[in-house]
Structure 1
Amino acid sequence: MTIAAVRLNHAVLFVADLERSLTFYEAAFGVEVVAREPRANAAFLRMPRSGNHHDLGLFGVGAQPPRQRGAIGLYHLAWQVDTIGELAQARATLVELGAYGGESSHGATKSIYGQDPDGNEFEVMWMLPRASWGEYENSAPIDRLDLDGEIARWAGTRTASELVPLDALDA
């Protein structure tokens, strides 16, 4: 029998400096600190348009050598945006913060990559409308992202409502 999970609810990261990481995630994503647990040097963050209790937990553990890329463990987190224009804004924000790491097209998803102050990689992605996945239904290529071309094609198309009710996105 399998576990009847419906989605991944939140992620928790160990970070070297909790306050530095809070500053970064507030600047990058506009998160709200919804709870702190001083005994664990932890904070729990909610995205501005989330209906979740918290989307990200951060536990400050002090300076440690960074885990080598490709080592066993978490590779990255992916945050979904509603429009391709918001993906372009994410790129600009990450560039401004010195956190931009690259970009790619995975067919059904278009992605910008960044890193937090501890080197934890994350993805900001926009998903094509489900009805437009076509040949990408069961594939995930890694191709060059033509963000300007994608904006020209998909400007104004909202897709997060396919996962979250539209009224929650407008909040």
Structure 2
Amino acid sequence: MDNATLPSETEIGRVALTVAALSPTVEFYRDVVGLNVIDADDDRAILGAGKQALLVLNHRPDAPAREASATGLYHVAFRVPSRAALGDALRRINSEWTLDGASDHGVSEALYLSDPAGNGVEIYRDFPRASWDETPSGHVEMVTDPLDTQSVAAAATGRQSMPADSDIGHVHLEVSSVETARTFYADALGLRVRATYDGAVFLAAGDYHHHIGANVWQRRSKPHAGQGLAWFEIRLPDEAALDATQKRLRQSDYAVSETGTGLTVRDGDDIELRLRT
């Protein structure tokens, strides 16, 4: 492993959202996205695929709405293992909700929608890695073409929940500047830049297409507060990787706090990131 980069086994862990209305949000992620409720009370709900927790909903009835100029979440992207599972998701969306968009990205097939609080959601499945195209510079080629939703829907099996081996493939953020994001996520944290487009950068551990996306398309500039993204996790394969990452972050002058389960740090836009094994 290169000590300046995160190991290729690195992956996204849980994502936590602050919501003012808990019940309709839980119902959306259960009935439309297809997660199952693992634990819930008046203050919090934990949802996931199988027994794996993926999403934490923190209930804060008095939390102010996210300001139009505030950085934060663009979308959280749930990855399913097959086209059949994507077809099942599409059928749930068409039955229970409204599809905002659908794209073939060359590396994946993706469905886009928004939860009841306006948080962006992507449900996608990857094409086999051998089919991904790379540029001469080693970046991955991603495109945005229309998705053949009819053939995706035709692959559905009628399943009402995400398969147990579904996960969160990536988190896409709205940031104040691409350079701010790159300085933190690439230079300090140790992700590799995998693609750059007008107003956006995509970064990953190893040769994945992206674990983190960051864009400035809505010209957001204020630190995030209130409803929306509370924090998200990056899971590292072992303690050695966690220690090396902590050292890099501190050398880059980011304040790192040790917790009972790992580390907490805030990126250049004050978005909370939790690191654990």
TM bin (shorter chain):
0.7 to 0.9
> Residues 151 and 107 from structure 1, CA distance in 2 versus in 1: closer, same or farther, beyond 3 angstroms?
farther
How many residue pairs get matched?
150
> Residues 87 and 14 from structure 1, CA distance in 2 versus in 1: closer, same or farther, beyond 3 angstroms?
same
Q: Is the 8 A contact 2:110 2:124 kept in 1?
A: yes
Alignment deviations for residues 64-86 of structure 1 (CA, whole Å, 9 cap, x no partner): 43543x74111001111122122
Q: In 2, distance between residues paired with 1:151 and 1:28? A: 15
TM-score (norm. length: structure 2): 0.47
> Larger relative contact order (C-alpha < 8 A, sep ≥ 6)?
2
Q: Any stretches of 5+ residues in structure 1 without a counterpart?
A: 157-167
Equivalent residue, structure 1, for 2:99? 100
Q: In 2, distance between residues paired with 1:14 and 1:147? A: 32
Q: Is the 8 A contact 1:16 1:62 kept in 2?
A: yes
Which residue identity does 1:35 align to in structure 2? D
Q: Normalized per residue, which structure has more strand? A: 2
Q: In 2, distance between residues paired with 1:140 and 1:11? A: 24
Stretch moving more, 70-79 or 119-128: 70-79
Report whether the alignment pairs 1:16 with 2:20. Answer: yes
Deviation at 1:32, TM superposition (A): 2.7
Alignment deviations for residues 129-169 of structure 1 (CA, whole Å, 9 cap, x no partner): 111113586122122112446789xx69xxxxxxxxxxx64
Aligned partner of 1:42 among 35, 38, 44: 44
RMSD (Å) for aligned C-alpha atoms: 2.9
Q: Normalized per residue, which structure has more helix? A: 1
TM-score (norm. length: structure 1): 0.73
Alignment deviations for residues 41-69 of structure 1 (CA, whole Å, 9 cap, x no partner): 11111213xx53x110001122643543x
Q: Is the 8 A contact 1:108 1:128 kept in 2?
A: yes
Q: What pairs up with 1:26-37 in 2 under 5 angstroms?
A: 26-36=30-40
Q: Any stretches of 5+ residues in structure 2 without a counterpart?
A: 157-163, 166-277
Q: What pairs up with 1:49-64 in 2 under 5 angstroms?
A: 52=52, 54-62=53-61, 64=64
Equivalent residue, structure 2, for 1:84? 83
Equivalent residue, structure 2, for 1:111? 110
SS of 1:44's equivalent? strand
Aligned partner of 1:144 among 146, 151, 155: 146
Which residue identity does 2:57 align to in structure 1? L
Q: Is the 8 A contact 2:86 2:152 kept in 1?
A: no
Runs of 4 or more, structure 1, over 4 Å off, are: 1-5, 148-152
Which residue identity does 1:25 align to in structure 2? Y
Q: In 2, distance between residues paired with 1:144 and 1:67? A: 31
Q: Is the 8 A contact 2:88 2:153 kept in 1?
A: no
